[in-house]
A and B are shown apart, each in its own frame.
Chain A
Amino acid sequence: MRRGWSAGALGLVLALVLAGCVGGGEPEQVSTPRPGAETKGQLTVWGWDAAIKSLKVVDAGFRQAYPNVTVKYVAKPPADTYRNIQLALSAGSGAPDVSVIEDSHLAQFVKLGGLADVTDLVKPHTGQVNAYRWKPATKDGRVYAMPWDSGPVAVFYRRDVFSKAGIDPESIRTWDDYYRAAKVIKQRTGVPMWPQPKARNDARLLEMLLWQQGLGYVDAQGNVVLDKDPRIQRTLEFMGRFWREDLSLDAEWWQDAWYKALGGGKVATIPEAVWMGTFFRDFIDPKGTGHWGVFKLPVWEPGGSQASNDGGSTLAIFEQSKQKDAAWAYVEYHLTRPESQLQIYEKTDIFPALETTYQAPFFQEPSEYFGGQKVRQLFVDVVRNIPEAGVYTSEYQEMNALLASQVQSFALGKQTAQQALAKAAAAIRSRTSRA
């Protein structure tokens, strides 16, 4: 009896696991759906609160166009969503039909192989989306996700702090200008220039500053460049000056002290993607109309790029989905139609990657929260010029963790920038078997 049961149970588990390993099978073709009652389905869409709130903006219209498709949303924080996706892919079942996936995690899932091939479906939209966004969604010439929002980076600055220090943001052209302004601001107002923790640094500012120069962890061939390109060391050393000369706010991001500093004018600038402006308005500094202004990233050398990216997300359909036609209908309606994307942008301020929306008058309008500045147009100028960079690779999480811990050690004064980059590069090479 005993043996029968346990052997049966063992066999069952084994079979499940094997099914998970072997499962997958041949990818089936998804066809472009025609709006109307023919397309049927009960879709499950995973994401997090902010993303789902935005997608819902156009749901009423979607229901009209596809009366026989219902949508159920499951909201979990990004980290939980990703973990659940991974578990569902391992188990071979349990994945949703569609999920929001950030660019930073996308390449990893593309490599894992659980996402549906949407190459032919997105083809009509290839030229309509910010070109750099296709890279993390693509593997071996096939595309596995549709870009949604982009993360063009600029410098958000406190108008009151700048005027108190007598600094004209227009005068900041190069990063050296920025550094000099930082010294003046610190001297005259006591306010640090940017929030960059030492022991809790997540290396994301470094990533942005590198991306601006078309640089990242790896080059176009996938080889690690952290210790190869002298511009990377120069960039980290530039950040080091702010730590050494006490020009940066040593507070962990998204924690109490950080919120208080940003909301209370205790930090002069924050170079960050367009979504940070949304966060300011929504919860970091909701009463701060007119507090903040925006200027483009200073350049590293005259004529250099002023565009960088941080974040960005996509919608992906899962290979496990039994209703891929309906799933694509959902993605197509929400992400590829300028009306939908504009509506989402106007209501919830999620900056579209879809360039066909950029002509809309809404982009030319002054932004009340930013003191009447035409911020939306500024970000359009930025996003059109974002270069491709080797930041969001399939091993991004690991590379970021390995680099961040070395940057922390550098920020704390335990090693030089050169040592930090050499160690990070060596660790990344050994753990990802790259050259």
Chain B
Amino acid sequence: MARNAAEPAALPFTRERGRRRPWLVAFRRYRVPYLFILPFFVAFAVFFLYPIGFSLSLSLHEWSGSGPARFVGLGNYRLLLRDELFWGSMLNATILFLIYVPAMTFLALVLASLLHSRYLRLQGLWRALIFLPNITSMVAAGYVFRLMLDTDSGLANRLLSFFGVSPIPWLDDVWWARLSLGLLLVWAWLGWNTVIMLAGLQTISPELLDAARVDGANAAQIFRRITVPLLRPQILFAVTLSIIGTYSLFTEPYVLTRGGPVQATTTPVYQVFTTTFEYAKVGYGAAMSYVYFAVIVVLTLFQFWALSRERPAGRGR
């Protein structure tokens, strides 16, 4: 590094070498900018790259978090193959995904279209209100949901009882608990998805919509035939994030349902957490996270492939 600082004077030499190694020239020319972005990369290396590598090595060991680690090769992975809890948590996340993501994505599209409307007043206020849950502390929100959804004393069941509905076991039944968790997730993440869709809507040329209107298309037709196809990239992006988000859910089930009942809302990352930090099986937990990671990558790739296969007709390019 001392040489880097001393050498700019020897310009011809640098140029000579630079022809063969352009990255070095770039590096020298942009030394200061690189210095400015350095902190991020250092932090990234220390807090992300290094743990990623370290946990890969951990996943090949049996280790309790302290004391000596025992190398077990693929033993942890072999054990995982027949671990019902592990596969159960994958299934839980998949079910949860099917429960809330389609509904949430559709709602976000509709909301974004409404917010985008020229005739809506106080747009800024509505946008802020819709986004507000996303910046609310999930622990606080989850706790409030838990109080509201309590079977005996929760607000939800008290309100329903006015209409003669018998108490619903919101958090005490396998399927209701999954649905309640889905509700909390839609509440928390709808705003985020709406903003993504809204950003996409703003890139659609108003002429297209005007032309459609002149041709006699109604609002529903415009939504289905123009808005949705043109928003394909945004929808893809939002759903991909939802996939990753669902499999790595932790705070929401931890606060709302504590993974229960009957482990029905134990998500993959929740499973990693209990295995690693409560059962002190650090190596096994690391192996789990690697398998989850692989599954998420595969799902994401599949989705990219599935959604980008057919190009929308109106797209021109």
Whether A220 sits at the interface, judged by CB under 8 Å, is: no
CA distance A412 to B174 in the complex (A): 10
Q: Which chain A positions have C-beta within 8 A of B313? A: none
Select one of A2, A200, A251 contacting B41, CB under 8 A: A2
Q: Is the CB of B45 within 8 A of A405?
A: no
Q: Is the CB of B46 within 8 A of A9?
A: yes
Closest to A91 in B: B66
Would you list which residues of chain B between 13 and 63 have a CB under 8 Å from chain A?
A: 34-35, 38, 41-42, 45-46, 50, 54, 63
Q: Is the CB of B38 within 8 A of A5?
A: yes
Q: Is the CB of A200 within 8 A of B260?
A: yes
A10-B45, A408-B260, A427-B84 given; A21·B68 CB < 8 A:
yes
A90-B65, A431-B83 given; A1·B35 CB < 8 A:
yes
Would you list which residues of chain A between 70 and 119 have a CB under 8 Å from chain B?
A: 83, 86, 89-90, 92, 108, 111-114
Give the interface segment out of A28-36, A211-219, A396-404: A396-404
Q: Is the CB of B262 within 8 A of A405?
A: yes
CA distance A218 to B63 in the complex (A): 23
Closest to A82 in B: B278
Whether A17 sits at the interface, judged by CB under 8 Å, is: yes
Q: Which chain B positions have C-beta within 8 A of A20? A: 66
Whether A168 sits at the interface, judged by CB under 8 Å, is: no
Q: Which chain B positions have C-beta within 8 A of A296? A: none
Interface of B is mostly: loop
Q: Is the CB of A405 within 8 A of B67?
A: no
Q: Is the CB of B173 within 8 A of A199?
A: yes
Closest to B177 in A: A199
Q: Which chain A positions have C-beta within 8 A of B69? A: 21
Q: Is the CB of B66 within 8 A of A24?
A: yes
Q: Which chain B positions have C-beta within 8 A of A108? A: 280
A12 to chain B, nearest CB (A): 9
Q: Is the CB of A86 within 8 A of B65?
A: yes
Q: Is the CB of A257 within 8 A of B66?
A: no
Whether A133 sits at the interface, judged by CB under 8 Å, is: no
Q: Is the CB of A430 within 8 A of B83?
A: yes
Whether A334 sits at the interface, judged by CB under 8 Å, is: no
Closest to A399 in B: B279
Q: Is the CB of A24 within 8 A of B277?
A: no
CA distance A10 to B45 in the complex (A): 8
CA distance A430 to B79 in the complex (A): 7
Q: Is the CB of B4 within 8 A of A1?
A: yes
CA distance A305 to B44 in the complex (A): 60
Closest to A409 in B: B262
Q: Which chain A positions have C-beta within 8 A of B50? A: 10, 13-14
Whether B82 sits at the interface, judged by CB under 8 Å, is: yes
CA distance A130 to B189 in the complex (A): 54
Closest to B147 in A: A256
A2-B41, A108-B280, A256-B153 given; A405·B66 CB < 8 A:
no
Q: Which chain B positions have C-beta within 8 A of A200? A: 172, 260-261
Whether B1 sits at the interface, judged by CB under 8 Å, is: yes
Q: Which chain B positions have C-beta within 8 A of A112? A: 64-67, 280
11 examples of A-B residue contacts, CB within 8 angstroms: A21-B63, A21-B69, A24-B66, A86-B66, A199-B173, A199-B177, A199-B261, A251-B152, A257-B150, A430-B83, A430-B84
The 4 residue pairs across chains A and B that have the minimum distance between CB atoms: A199-B261, A89-B66, A257-B152, A199-B172
Which B residues are within 8 Å of any A CB, using their own CB?
1, 4, 34-35, 38, 41-42, 45-46, 50, 54, 63-69, 79, 82-85, 150-153, 169, 171-174, 177, 260-263, 274, 277-280
Q: Beyond A24-B67, A113-B67, A198-B172: 11 further Cβ-contacts under 8 Å?
A: A1-B1, A6-B41, A13-B50, A89-B65, A89-B66, A90-B65, A112-B67, A252-B172, A257-B150, A401-B274, A430-B84
